[in-house]
Chain A
Amino acid sequence: MKKFTALLLSIAMVATLCACGSTADTAATDATAETAETTEATETTDAAATEAAVTVKAGFICLHDENSTYDLNFINAAKEACEKMGIEYVIKTNIPEGQECYEAACELADAGCNFIFADSFGHEDYMIEAAKEYPDVQFCHATGTKAHTENVANFHNAFASIYEGRYLAGIVAGMKLNEMIDAGEITAEEAKMGYIGAYTYAEVISGYTSFYLGAKSVCPSVTMEVTFTGSWYDETAEKEGANTLINDGCVLISQHADSMGAPTACETAGVPNVSYNGSTASACPNTFLVSSRIDWAPYFEYAMGCVANGTAIDTDWVGTLATGSVKLTDLGENVAEGTADAIAAAQADIESGKTHVFDITTFTVEGAELSSYQADVDTDPDYAPDHEVITDGYFNESGEGFRSAPYFDVKIDGITLLDTAF
């Protein structure tokens, strides 16, 4: 009898649950119907936009999900470009930099994608493996260094001249320093900035050096200290790094790492911050100055357009200020007067070729001008320098005929590295 009651009770419970389930099901079906409608709409625009061309299906592989500012930047650009072009797309998030990336890329190719993109540096080797296996699918990779030496026809690298964006952000920082000097808060000698980097990698060195040179172009007495965290995303280490630099007398902080660690530390300490990947104004209203970022949408539009038209994608594609790939966010509330005008002028000079960020007359290395430099452009285990990169009086970063990823790894005067363990 007892058993029977128990059975009855459990049946009743399951029945109620099913009932709940089915009412909710109707709601779910509604939602699905809605999605189906939007897909249809997209398809119509698709047909209109790319008539008589290859139908593109795009697959995106991201290291993390939208909680990382770095990946969010790619995800937003992917959605923007695909929706604009009416392209069906799949985004795979949280794909580690290992064989999982190869499997993810192959699964996307199996699912019919003919344009596959991966966003993280460590994905590169696995994308190359997948590219060898699917010669008819175009594989593109951001920040990578190997496309120009691997000779895999359907594997491509892309980057942007973000050093130009950082240079402009450096001008914002330099003008803020000038304002502090003029107000008597600091002396000209105390104009010291701090910078939190991830690794002593060329991309990071190129980034902080261009930022420093931007600041120096308006505030000649500026110096900078750099610390490294050994990770692209380590909120605690970035926060600690910022605090160390602030205690060390740095009056302005910037960073090349993906967490909110440094901006929030700056907000707490009341120290101005120049951010990266996107605006941190909402979380740090008092200290946010400006942020530079790469907008990947122009690249996606270019590359997916190539797939649609059957034309070849550049082995190394470099986005610039002119292509709309390098962007500055809106300025924060507390920037110095006249900042917007100064940026506009500098941007015009860069775009016209009048200013070169790494102009060798603007910096010295161990007291001397850098008139010749062999950079390690072709990736090899011995880091052997292989290309002369100083041309026409400037360091030709991400230059034509070299590679898209930065290779500026010179340690210039005025910048002190606090630690180089990573």
Chain B
Amino acid sequence: MKNNHEPLFHVVKRDELSRGKGILIRVVAIIVALIFCGIITVALTGVNPISVYGTMVTGAFGSVRKTWVTLQNTAILLLIALALTPAFRMKFWNCGGEGQILMGGLASAACMITLADKLPNAVIIILMIISSIVAGAVWAGLPALFKALWNTNETLSTLMMNYIAIQLVAYFTVVWENPKGSGKIGIINQNSNIGWLPEIANKYLLAIVVGLIITFFVYIYIYYTKHGYEVCVVGESYRTARYVGIKVGKVIVRTLLLSGALCGLVGLLLVGGINHTITTTIAGGQGFTAIMVSWLAKFNPFVMILTSGLIVFLGRGAGEIATVFGFNQSFSDILTGIILFCIIGCEFFVTYKIKINKKEGEGNV
């Protein structure tokens, strides 16, 4: 006898998905997200959703300055995602981007504050570059070392390193605060500009140029070098890697030193090039957002330009909505949440397909 309580549909893993179809699914996801956001907007606020979307575009690209800021923010988020990517390809879940950036930033700030007037500006900047990269690398290297030696859980240890970094920055904020008791450092060397990274063309371009260079570098590193190949093999299986003679521990530590060094570089850009101060929130959670950027792009550096751009666009657009329509920031967060939910959710349909079950044999019962 046949069981006729078969579910209406079942989920099947796709064998191979054509590139066109993959893109189509994602485009549909974005359209669905926009429609859904529109419904929510109308239902909650009564504002025309088209004007809300228009405002988002204005917020990100409404003036020359806004466009530059959007590009600069994209470059920073992209750089962090690029930094995390080699580790992710090794299936080493580096959740410590935030802390690695902070340590890089703290090292830069330390040079700017303690060495001002003691050394020539060029020497200070060189020391800032070296120290921030080293600080970031050490902050990622420690959990990697523990993983290599004792197989500790890297997700936990990298996360915990974030909190140590935050507390260190909080401590030095009090040491360097100005004026006394205010809990703020303020712009470092505001009038002498010592330790400020040089501007190229305008104050936004430096981060963008660095972002593009590092994109090419990481792309070549992970796809076209022996190191990149080893990272991939270690990510697949430690045993395979050992069998072909790869020293797994060495690869783990080496890759994480690179990952942390790039995060340290971001810290340098944030402190020396953009904010000229250090606070515990200078990374602003981007160390975590970048995880999503990297994943959405399937670890492909060039696709990350798009994904980081999308996330920055949503954030900047959301801020503009709050200003123009007088909505609370939470409303923008709702819209961003819906859009990201649809985009991430569509990955399910990229990997799997839904098969509607034919009601065969109904007459046999």
Contacts and interface: CB of A to CB of B under 8 A. Distances in A.
Interface of A: 2, 14, 17, 20-21, 24-25, 27-29, 31-32, 65-67, 90-94, 96-99, 103, 106-107, 110-111, 121-122, 124-126, 128-129, 145, 198-202, 204-205, 230-231, 376, 379-381, 383, 409, 421-422
A28 B42 CA distance: 8
A128 to B, nearest CB: 7
Interface residues of B, number: 41
B69 A28 contact: no
Contact of B184 (A90, A97, A111): A97
Contacts of A20: 39, 42
Given A28-B48, A94-B319, A110-B65, A99 B274 contact: yes
Interface string B169-184: 0100010101111111
A96 B182 CA distance: 16
B183 A21 contact: no
Given A65-B328, A121-B182, A121-B184, A96 B284 contact: yes
B330 to A, nearest CB: 9
A202 B277 CA distance: 22
Contacts of B323: 90-93
Residue from A65, A66, A98 having most chain B Cβ neighbours under 10 A: A98
Given A91-B326, A107-B66, 10 more contacts: A20-B42, A21-B38, A28-B48, A98-B279, A103-B69, A107-B65, A122-B279, A201-B180, A202-B179, A376-B179
Residue from B46, B47, B186, B319 having most chain A Cβ neighbours under 10 A: B186
A41 B9 CA distance: 59
Interface in B175-202: 176, 178-184, 186-187, 190
A125 B186 contact: yes
A110 B48 contact: no
B35 interface: yes
A89 to B, nearest CB: 11
A253 B80 CA distance: 45
Contacts of B329: 65, 93-94
25 contacts: A21-B35, A21-B38, A21-B49, A25-B42, A67-B328, A90-B323, A94-B322, A96-B281, A99-B275, A107-B63, A125-B277, A128-B187, A128-B190, A129-B187, A129-B190, A199-B181, A199-B183, A201-B179, A201-B183, A204-B181, A230-B170, A230-B183, A379-B178, A381-B176, A383-B179
Nearest to A79: B326
Nearest to A420: B181
Q: Which 6 A-B pairs have the closest CB atoms?
A: A201-B181, A125-B187, A24-B42, A28-B48, A200-B181, A383-B180
Interface of B: 35, 38-39, 42-43, 46-49, 63, 65-66, 69, 170, 174, 176, 178-184, 186-187, 190, 274-277, 279, 281-282, 284, 319, 322-323, 326, 328-329, 356
Nearest to B171: A421
Contacts of A125: 186-187, 190, 277
Contacts of B328: 65-67
A205 B281 CA distance: 26
A159 to B, nearest CB: 14
Given A107-B66, A379-B179, A380-B178, A28 B279 contact: no
Contacts of B322: 65, 93-94
Contacts of B46: 24, 27-28, 31
A113 B285 CA distance: 31
A240 to B, nearest CB: 18
A147 to B, nearest CB: 14
A66 B329 CA distance: 10
A381 B182 CA distance: 12
Contacts of B63: 107, 110-111
Contacts of A31: 46-47
B42 A21 contact: yes
B299 to A, nearest CB: 30
A353 to B, nearest CB: 29
A364 to B, nearest CB: 22
B38 A122 contact: no
Nearest to B191: A150
Given A93-B323, A110-B63, A32 B48 contact: yes
A383 to B, nearest CB: 4
A394 B178 CA distance: 27
B329 to A, nearest CB: 5
Contact of A106 (B35, B65, B178, B284): B65
Contacts of B65: 103, 106-107, 110
A20 B174 CA distance: 55
A121 B277 CA distance: 14
A124 B277 CA distance: 13
Contacts of B35: 14, 17, 21
A35 B330 CA distance: 22
Residue from A198, A204, A381 having most chain B Cβ neighbours under 10 A: A381
B182 A201 contact: yes
Nearest to B174: A422
B180 A29 contact: no
Contacts of A92: 319, 323
A126 B179 contact: no
A383 B175 CA distance: 12
B187 A199 contact: no
A113 to B, nearest CB: 12
A202 B319 CA distance: 33
Nearest to B276: A99
Contacts of B38: 17, 21
Contacts of B284: 96
A29 B42 CA distance: 11
A252 to B, nearest CB: 25
B190 to A, nearest CB: 6
Contacts of B279: 97-98, 122
B325 to A, nearest CB: 10
B187 A126 contact: yes
A65 B181 CA distance: 25
A73 B53 CA distance: 30
Given A65-B328, A93-B323, A199 B190 contact: no
Contacts of B319: 92, 94
A129 B191 CA distance: 10
A205 B182 CA distance: 11
A412 to B, nearest CB: 16
A198 B182 CA distance: 9
A376 B177 CA distance: 14
B300 to A, nearest CB: 29
A27 B41 CA distance: 12
A24 B52 CA distance: 14
A140 to B, nearest CB: 18
A122 B173 CA distance: 13
A27 to B, nearest CB: 5
A149 B159 CA distance: 43
